[in-house]
Structure 1
Amino acid sequence: MCKHILNVQVAIRAPCCRRWFDCAECHQEVSDHPLRKTDEMVFACKKCKKPFRKNMKDYEEEDEYCPHCDNHYVLEALTPEAKLGIETGDLRKDARVIKDGRTKLKTDPNSIFDIDFSDHVG
């Protein structure tokens, strides 16, 4: 089960190591090499469990379905929700650093942090 894409419909055989993965991120997490790109992909349908090949150069809309059981495997990916959030929302959408809007107060005459000790040194 893929932790990156919750509704994955096919497993993909990596052409570099010939191992099965649910997504490229799953391959990256456990492999010591980059995923090799190829024109011919090998898939295994999660519904009928049968493998099939697709040439990515000639990929068309009807190729979005398993040739064995007609399962539609090209879907918009559902990803897990972020566990941590901030007031502005999901960190994955806005990863900018939040600027601290507080300023140093030097105008308060009674502040102990603004005392000039040079006059009191004996």
Structure 2
Amino acid sequence: MCKHILNVQVAIRAPCCRKWFDCAECHTDTTDHPLRKTDEMVFACKKCKKVFRKNMSDFDESDEYCPHCDNHYIIDAKTPQMALGVEGEDARVNNKLIKDDRIANDPTRSIFNSSNLDHRLG
């Protein structure tokens, strides 16, 4: 399973080590050598599980499909996107998400005063 491209349609055999990878970044992550460039690529279709070769020097639009099952394997890649969201309202408008109303405002309460924690933990 590729962590770089979510909609991988084919696996690629690296010409340098002859191992199968979902993308060039997967090869870089798991091996200690650079990916060797070549004109003839070997692919394995993830839909029909059959292997085929393509010459990349004369690649045209009809070569974007698996020759065995017509799976369109040259598509726009979907990459994982980091998402961070906060549930609730804008803190500038309503700061109840930041302020804890359960603890009363005690002027002697401080993160530097450990005596306040001792009676709560004991």
Instruction: Provide the TM-score with structure 1 as the length reference.
Output: 0.68
Structure 1's unaligned 5+ residue stretches are: 86-122
Letter in 1 for 2:49: K
Equivalent pairs, count: 85
Q: Is 1:40 the counterpart of 2:40 in the alignment?
A: yes
Aligned equivalent of 2:8: 8
Q: CA deviation at 1:82?
A: 1.5
Aligned equivalent of 1:68: 68
Q: CA deviation at 1:84?
A: 5.4
Letter in 2 for 1:32: D
Kindly, what percent of the aligned residue pairs are identical? 80
Q: CA deviation at 1:16?
A: 0.1
CA distance in 1 between counterparts of 2:44 and 2:61 reads 18
CA distance in 1 between counterparts of 2:67 and 2:77 reads 21
Instruction: Provide the TM-score with structure 2 as the length reference.
Output: 0.68
Q: CA deviation at 1:57?
A: 0.6
> What is the aligned-residue RMSD (CA, Å)?
1.1
* Equivalent residue runs for 1:95-114 within 5 Å: none
